[in-house]
Structure formats: structure tokens, C-alpha cells
Amino acid sequence: MLPIEAVYEKLVAQLQQHNTVLLQAPPGAGKSTWLPLNLVKNNYFKRIVMLEPRRLAARNIAQFLALQQNEVLGQSIGLKIRNEVAVSEHTRLEIVTEGVLTKMLQSDPELAGVDLLIFDEFHERSLAADTALAFALETQAAFRDDLKILVMSATLDSERYQAFLDCPVVASDGRSHPVSEVYHPLRDESKWLEAMPSLILNALQQQSGSALVFLPGKRDINFIYQSLEGNVTSDIQVVTLFGEQDKATQQAAIAPPKAGLRKVVLTTNVAETSLTIEGIRIVVDSGKRRAAQFNLKTGVTELVTVSISRSSAVQRAGRAGRIEPGVVYRLGSHEQFERRDRHDVPEILSSDIAGLVLEAKIWGSEVEQLPLLDVPSSGALQQAHQLLNMLEAVDKQGKVTELGRKMHQFGTEPRLAHMLLKAMELEQSKPGISHLACYLVALLECRVSASPELRVALQSQFEKPHKSFSQALKPWLKRLKINERSTLNCEYLSLLVALAFPDRLAKSRGQGFVLANGAGVNAHETHWLDCDYIAIASLGGHKGQRIFSATELNLLLLQESLPHLFVEKDICEFDEKSERFLHEQRVQLGTLVIESKPSTKALDVEARTQAWLNLVAKHGLALFNEYQQVQPLLNRMTLAQRFYPQEFEKLDEPTLLEGIDNWLAPYLVSVKKLAELKKLDLMSAVKGLLDWNQQQRLDEILPKRIQVPSGSSIKIEYPLHGPAKLSVRMQEVYGLLATPVLCNGKLPLLMELLSPAHRPLQLTQDLAHFWQTSYKEVQKEMKGRYPKHFWPDDPATAQATNKVKSRM
């Protein structure tokens, strides 16, 4: 009996009573297989759509359930993933992934005929799952109050999810087989990959059964595969399993080992959830994964190796206890394990969200208006809007264009969709550009390259294609209905790169290049050293500043074919070197100045004010002489918003800099020189952001100073993290029975008690306790060092003073 069976009736009852339910069930409970199948068999729902985050898991679950029904796939059990569809009018349970559910909702917001949506393994928090859930919740609220939503995971952040969805939680026990833990500490964390082969061999020697080895990516898998080759016994078969493999290879890796053999499966986190591999009772966990990290400055999403969260580690370990008692070997110490984050960072906070922004607009909403568990930062949203505008998907007002709708229907990421669609439009005037576009997409997808120069890399694949390149190329040629040609015309290559990556067009500057989005990148060691302009397809490395692949940019061709990228502007800037205004007419490609000449317009107040605003935005508020005096006020305003969000808006420095056009511009009208700008009354400008009542309230909850028993008014320091701090001579707080309270006790106050010479004697957040305990030791020492000062036996009742004894 599977654990999910014990809570089945309760779950069904909750689904009948509530529109949305959370199911928390550890690995092996049967939530991905037994549960949806029985919901269909028992006729609780007419048609169920279940979203699986991974294609491999979706395919295997669908095939397993079809087998349980003694059917071929596509009858009562259906599957719909990228390049693979098996559904019919008889399908009652449809397993989908890769944004398929989002497309279903976009084409039919009412989801006619579907009465239950299941989000499996939701803890993985893929961008597609977050988007689909947001749309589904809006469908439920606006069109289908009868639509049921079941969110499932092995490691739910239940309290947070329950508060967000406002729904009940049903919890199921997990596997009945225990998994013991073995930790393998590392002396040098950077040598983790080199430590894996010996750990795997030790596990195989100490344990029986087959092993599942978790590694971050394909390159790491290949390294371990080669390291194990020749070092394992003849009864052990080493296989690999990752997302980019063909279906047959994946199925072979999942299949049970042959009689008398043990299997070692080297895999990525593709096998972390919803996948059972027969015979596995050993898990060897590197504790690493490949994660997308979006660099907001360069506009590049990099795949980096990071430590997994504790919840992911629990998921991986669960693979060992599916069939019988198992063991997990974890690379690293137990202390390191406990220091890991509780949950992985969701994709919506760590990836390029241009696709999400376009999805939301097609849906008829903005990202900020969607019911999302986590909302992207304003900076990420702004960057996404700018990119979509450069890709012609949205206009200057943020409305979706006709091309934007075509890009959305194309079914791939906005950058590549824009390039391919525009290439087809340009084919008549630029023969061969569509063929070249398919080659470029295939090269970018398969990541096989012989050179950082795109022309060389493409020509190499044209003449002698790699197997994975050919596999990536074939679907695109078929989709665009293009036949292979005898030559590859690379004349339009930089134009294609510009169509996909307009923000990565770059101009030579100093020892590197500056991108159209304003970010700087390093020069390549060997390529493009004499180029004025290049078109970059791939960036990464440290801070996203290393060029991986690019080609020289044909600027004239770009101006002729993509005039929308070039903007004529009347620019006024303050040049800090010459300390004068530059007033020019410019042709710009993003932030890149292509042409410039002196402006024919007069330098008016509006242009000059904007120049000052740009200068402040560049340097921050530290540009002003009063900044050190204003900093405490900024900290107090930030803390006030943190503790009283209903009374105070967010007014920290980054927020103020984003909106300087609104609050600072009026103070700059009469400023004509840099010296005048620096002397600006910044305090008044910042204070003006609070009305009179808010200023009074701020002084009440977070006073600038506190009057101590001696009568002195002492300044309070307000750091943004940790307690506030009051540094005061000890004699001045005699008679004070308790530590003063800030923000009604929400913000602790740290009292730094000083000697008569203003040297620290004691730090305390509990003054009454200090008087009763440690004060005696301080009194004993201070009487000898400062005999002229007052050191009473009972400081809690003594008279406070800021004078020596003779003047009291």
C-alpha cells in the first residue's frame, strides 16, 4: 500500500469542498502516479491536466500510467511535451510540461472540459510553473469557479504556500524505507569534483545494489564517467542520464540492470523528482547543481554551479529508499549541510523574465498584477521591457505589437523567435538569411563550437557537423520549410545576431567593449582586437564580462535593415573632466553613440536639469556635500517602512535614485555649476518626501536623539541591519531602570556604555540586568582609574551626572 492511499479520501473531500488544495507528500508516496490515475478511475473528475516540470519525468509517468491501463499512450492517458504529442478525444489524464499548460490557458482561458489542474513537484518553482499557476488562479477567479487546482510537492514550504493560496493542506507520509546518511567532509571545497570518483567507489564497495550519482551538468558527468572507466568491477555498468540525451539513451539509463549486474547512473537533477530507477538503493550526492543566474547589468543569464538547498538534498536522498532501505553519501560535512539554504531560489528571481513579461501582456495583464508567489524586482522588469522594445515585441507605450504576438505563438524564447521571424521576412531581399538563421539557432542550442568567431564555428559545423548539432538543426529547417544548401552565406551573420541580441551589440572602448545596454565587457584574448563594433551572441564568466562568441558588426547593414534600433537624440550631459555641459545631436544604438554633432538648440532649463539628474543617477546621493548628514535620515526612513509598511512608503536610496525625476528636479532649476549642485539642500529635499504627520511619526518611533537622566541629548545610530545603538557615558544613565524602547519594541536598542574618556566599557540590550550583575566588576576597575568620577554602589537608584564628583 502506497502512503498516498491513506490520505486519499481526505484529499478528495478537500477537493470537493475547496477550489485549491496543497498536498505535501515525500518521495515514493505515489502522488505523481497512483493519485491521478485513481482520481480518473473513480470518476471524480472528467478531465485532468497534470503539469510536470521535466520532460523525462512527464514521458515516463505517462507511459507508466498508460501501461497500468493496458493501453497505448494517447488513449485515456495522454502526453503533450515539446515535439511529442499523444492525446485523443478519449484522453482523461493529460501529462504536460515545457510551458504547454500556459499555451493552453492563453488559447482558452476558460479551459473548457478540464475540471482539475495538478501542479506536480511545484517546489522546483520553474518559471513556466509559476506562470501557469498565476494564469490558472486568474481563470479560476474570473471564469471557472468550478475549476479545481491541486498543488503537490515532496518538500513544500507549506506555511508560505498556504498563506499565498489561502487553502487547506493535506500531508501524506513518505516512503516506508529508511535512508541512512554518510557525510564525506572536504578539505578544499574547490576540489569537490576530483573527490567524487573515490566517494562513488567507496559507496559501491560498502553497499549492495545500484547507485544514482547526482552531478551538476553534462561536463561533470563526462569527467566522472571517464574517471570510473576501468576502475569499477566487471559486474558494474556505468551509464549517464541528462536532459539533452535522446529518448532511447534516457530509457536505457532508467531500465533495470541486467541479471547479475549493478548499475551506476550518473545524472543531473533531472532524476531528482518523479522518476523511479529500478534497483537504486545508493545515492551519491555532490550537493551541487547548475542554476541560472541573471546578470541584470549585462542582460546575460549564466549557468553557474551552486550548492543545492536542504530540501533538494532531501529529494535526492529519497531516491535511495523507493524500493528498500538505502543510504545517501553526501559530499561535504554535516555542518555544511545544515548551513545550506532551506529552499532553492526560484527561477522567477534568478532568470531573464522577458518571456514572462510578454506572456503577461498577451494574457492581458502586467507581471506586477499577476498572483505570483514571488514578484521580480523593478530592475528586472525594466530590463525586460527594454529588451522587448528592442525586439519589436512591444511598442514605446508597452503594448504588444503584431510581431510580438507572432513571436509568442512561435513557441520559443523571444530573442530567437524575433531572429527567425525577421529572417523569414528578409529572405527575399537577403537570400540565404533564413538558412543561416537555422544554423545559428542550432549552434546556440547545442553549444558545440570550434571557435569563438561565429563565422568559423558555423562554417565548421556546415562542413563537418557534430551529431548534437545535426539533431538541433533538423527541427528548425523543417519548421521553416528550408532545404539544406550547398553553401552557407555568412554575409548577414552580424545582422542575425543583432536581431536576437540587440542589447549585446558592442563598441570598442579602452581595453574592452561597451554594450548597447551600457555594460562594459572585457576584450577577447585573440579575436576582434581591431574591430570598432562587434555583435556578441554569448557572454558569461566573471560578472558576465567574458565574450564567448561574437562576430564583427556590419554597421551599415544594420542601419539599413533595422533602423528602429537607431535613435536620434538631443542630448545634454555634464562633462566632469571639463566641468562644462555637452549639448549634442546624437545618433545612438542603445547607449552607444554612433554619430554626434553640436546641437542647434539652445541650452534650456529642462535640458540642463536632466543633465544634473543623469549625473546624480550615475554617482548616487554621495555626490552631495550633505550626504553624511542625510544618511541617518535615509536609514530611519527605511526602517520606518520596514516596521510600519502601512504608514510609510519605501524610500531607501535605490528607490530614491529610481525616482529622482519626481522629487529632485524642482531643486535643480536654478543650479548652473557643479559646486552649486554639491551644496544643494539635500536634507530639505529628502524630508519633503514625508508629509508633516509622517515626519512627526518618524521622530516618535525612531527619534534622532534620546534625553538621558543626566539631561544630555544623545544621538542614536540607526544601521539598516541589527539593533540601533546609543553610545553614552555610564554616569549619564544612572537611575535609568530599563533600556529605552524604539518602534514599540520592534527595534532593539544596543547601549554602548562609555568611560569618562568616551572609551567603551560595556555593550548591553538589558540595562537593568547589567546594573545587577556585571556593573560591580566595572565599578571596581573604574574607581581606581577615574577616582574623580562618581561610581555608586547602586547605579539603578543613583543620581545621573555629566560632571565630576566635586561639581555635582
Q: Is the pLDDT of residue 319 over 70?
A: yes
* Whole-number Å distance between alpha carbons of 318 and 177: 9
Per-residue cell: 599: 546641437
pLDDT, residue 802, reads 85
pLDDT digits (tens, 9 = 90+) for 196-230: 999 999 999 999 888 999 999 888 999 999 999 88
Integer CA distances (angstroms), 388 to 230, 339, 374, 592, in order: 52, 39, 22, 18
At residue 783's C-alpha, the angle toward residues 779 and 786, to 5°, is 120
Q: Give the phi and the psi of residue 241 in degrees, each rounded to 5.
A: -150, 115
pLDDT, residue 172, reads 84
Alpha helices in 526-659 (DSSP H): 555-561, 605-619, 627-643, 653-658
Domain that holds residue 584: 563-603
pLDDT digits (tens, 9 = 90+) for 769-803: 999 998 999 898 888 888 888 899 999 898 988 88
- Same domain assignment for residues 274 and 145: no
Confidence of residue 721 (pLDDT cuts 50, 70, 90): confident
Amino acid type, 12: V
- Same domain assignment for residues 696 and 711: no
Identify whether the C-beta of residue 264 lies closer than 8 Å to the C-beta of residue 210.
Answer: yes
> How many Cα atoms sit within 13 Å of 759 on the Cβ side?
5
**Rg (alpha carbons) of the chain, rounded to whole number:** 32
User: Is residue 113 exposed (0-12), middle (13-18) or buried (19+ Cβ within 10 Å)?
Assistant: exposed
pLDDT, residue 271, reads 65
Alpha helices in 43-119 (DSSP H): 55-68, 100-107
- Same domain assignment for residues 206 and 336: yes
* Whole-number Å distance between alpha carbons of 43 and 116: 12
Domains in the chain, number: 6
Taking residues 346-367, report their average pLDDT: 92
> How many Cα atoms sit within 13 Å of 665 on the Cβ side?
13
pLDDT, residue 155, reads 66
Of the listed ranges 239-243, 476-480, 696-700, the least confidently predicted one is: 239-243
DSSP single-letter state for residue 216: S
pLDDT, residue 429, reads 93
Q: Helices 100-107 & 127-142, crossing angle to 10 degrees?
A: 30
* Whole-number Å distance between alpha carbons of 33 and 339: 34
Of the listed ranges 176-180, 260-264, 735-739, 749-753, the least confidently predicted one is: 176-180
Question: Residue 264 CA to chain centroid, in angstroms?
Answer: 32
Per-residue cell: 500: 536576437
0.85 cut: is pTM over it?
no
* Whole-number Å distance between alpha carbons of 461 and 684: 64
pLDDT, residue 105, reads 93
* Residues listed for the chain: 808
Q: Is the pLDDT of residue 174 over 70?
A: no
Of the listed ranges 30-34, 109-113, 710-714, 762-766, the least confidently predicted one is: 30-34
pLDDT, residue 295, reads 78
Amino acid type, 563: P
DSSP single-letter state for residue 623: G
Q: Helices 354-363 & 402-410, crossing angle to 10 degrees?
A: 110
> Is residue 401, in this structure, part of any structural domain at all?
no
Integer CA distances (angstroms), 771 to 618, 621, 764, 783, in order: 50, 43, 10, 16
Give the Cβ contact number of residue 450 at 10 Å: 13
Q: Are strands 705-707 and 713-717 parallel, antiparallel or unpaired?
A: antiparallel
Per-residue cell: 521: 565587457
Per-residue cell: 300: 546575460
Integer CA distances (angstroms), 705 to 169, 700, 711, 727, 789, in order: 48, 11, 12, 11, 25
- Ranked by mean pLDDT, the top range of 6-15, 579-588, 647-656 is 6-15
At residue 383's C-alpha, the angle toward residues 379 and 385, to 5°, is 120
- Same domain assignment for residues 273 and 216: yes
Strands lying side by side in the sheet with 580-589 = 566-575, 580-589, 592-598
Q: Which helix (H) or strand (E) holds 514?
A: strand 512-515
Mapping DSSP onto H, E and C, the string for 313-336 reads HHHHHHHHHCCCCEEEEEEECHHH
Query: DSSP for 78-94?
Result: EEEETTEEE--TT--EE
Identify whether the C-beta of residue 702 lies closer than 8 Å to the C-beta of residue 639.
Answer: yes
* Whole-number Å distance between alpha carbons of 164 and 307: 27
> Is residue 459, in this structure, part of any structural domain at all?
yes
Integer CA distances (angstroms), 728 to 515, 710, 734, 739, in order: 52, 11, 11, 12
Which residues does residue 169 pair with via DSSP β-bridges, in sequence order?
Answer: 22
pLDDT, residue 730, reads 94
At residue 39's C-alpha, the angle toward residues 33 and 41, to 5°, is 95
pLDDT, residue 217, reads 87
pLDDT digits (tens, 9 = 90+) for 691-714: 999 999 999 999 999 999 999 999
Identify whether the C-beta of residue 752 lies closer than 8 Å to the C-beta of residue 760.
Answer: yes
Average of per-residue pLDDT values in the chain? 89
- Same domain assignment for residues 58 and 120: yes
DSSP single-letter state for residue 394: B
The percent of residues above 70 in pLDDT, for the chain, comes to 98
Q: Are strands 326-331 and 300-307 parallel, antiparallel or unpaired?
A: unpaired
pLDDT, residue 153, reads 80
Q: Is the pLDDT of residue 277 over 90?
A: no
Identify whether the C-beta of residue 119 lies closer than 8 Å to the C-beta of residue 133.
Answer: yes
At residue 149's C-alpha, the angle toward residues 146 and 154, to 5°, is 160
> Is residue 794, in this structure, part of any structural domain at all?
yes
> Is residue 491, in this structure, part of any structural domain at all?
yes
The percent of residues above 90 in pLDDT, for the chain, comes to 54
* Whole-number Å distance between alpha carbons of 740 and 508: 59
- Same domain assignment for residues 508 and 585: no
Q: Is the pLDDT of residue 410 over 70?
A: yes
Confidence of residue 176 (pLDDT cuts 50, 70, 90): low
> Is residue 159, in this structure, part of any structural domain at all?
yes
Q: Map grid coordinates 520606518 to a residue.
A: 640
* Whole-number Å distance between alpha carbons of 587 and 663: 30
CATH number of the structural domain spanning residue 263: 3.40.50.300
Domain boundary among 136, 171, 206: 171
pLDDT, residue 156, reads 60
* Whole-number Å distance between alpha carbons of 323 and 174: 12
* Whole-number Å distance between alpha carbons of 167 and 596: 60
- Same domain assignment for residues 53 and 162: yes
pLDDT, residue 275, reads 64
Q: Which helix (H) or strand (E) holds 711?
A: none
Q: Which of 94, 9, 109 is nearest to 46 (CA)?
A: 94
Domain boundary among 345, 380, 404: 345
Query: DSSP for 732-749?
Result: GGTT--S---BGGGTB-E
Q: Is the pLDDT of residue 158 over 90?
A: no
Per-residue cell: 351: 532568470
DSSP single-letter state for residue 356: H
* Whole-number Å distance between alpha carbons of 153 and 273: 9
> Is residue 759, in this structure, part of any structural domain at all?
yes
- Same domain assignment for residues 630 and 728: no
pLDDT digits (tens, 9 = 90+) for 660-684: 888 999 999 888 899 999 999 999 9
Of the listed ranges 336-350, 353-367, 672-686, the least confidently predicted one is: 336-350
pLDDT digits (tens, 9 = 90+) for 534-591: 999 998 877 778 899 999 999 999 999 999 899 988 888 888 888 888 888 889 998 8
- Same domain assignment for residues 40 and 59: yes
Q: Which helix (H) or strand (E) holds 262?
A: strand 262-267
Long-range contacts of the stretch 369-376 (C-beta < 8 A, 24+): 370/134, 370/135, 370/138, 371/134, 371/137, 371/138, 371/164, 372/130, 372/134, 372/348, 373/125, 373/130, 373/160, 373/161, 373/164, 373/346, 374/130, 374/346, 374/348, 374/349, 375/348, 376/348, 376/349
> Is residue 545, in this structure, part of any structural domain at all?
no
* Whole-number Å distance between alpha carbons of 232 and 319: 22
Residues 6+ apart with CB under 8 A from 335: none
Domain boundary among 144, 171, 198: 171
- Same domain assignment for residues 708 and 689: no
Alpha helices in 393-483 (DSSP H): 402-410, 414-426, 433-446, 454-463, 467-479
* Whole-number Å distance between alpha carbons of 99 and 595: 43
Amino acid type, 501: F
- Same domain assignment for residues 184 and 164: no
> Is residue 399, in this structure, part of any structural domain at all?
no
- Same domain assignment for residues 195 and 333: yes
Taking residues 119-127, report their average pLDDT: 86
Q: Which of 426, 349, 364 is nearest to 398 (CA)?
A: 364
Of the listed ranges 244-248, 367-371, 657-661, 711-715, the least confidently predicted one is: 244-248
Q: Helices 354-363 & 378-390, crossing angle to 10 degrees?
A: 80
Q: Map grid coordinates 561597451 to a residue.
A: 514
Identify whether the C-beta of residue 30 lies closer than 8 Å to the C-beta of residue 52.
Answer: no
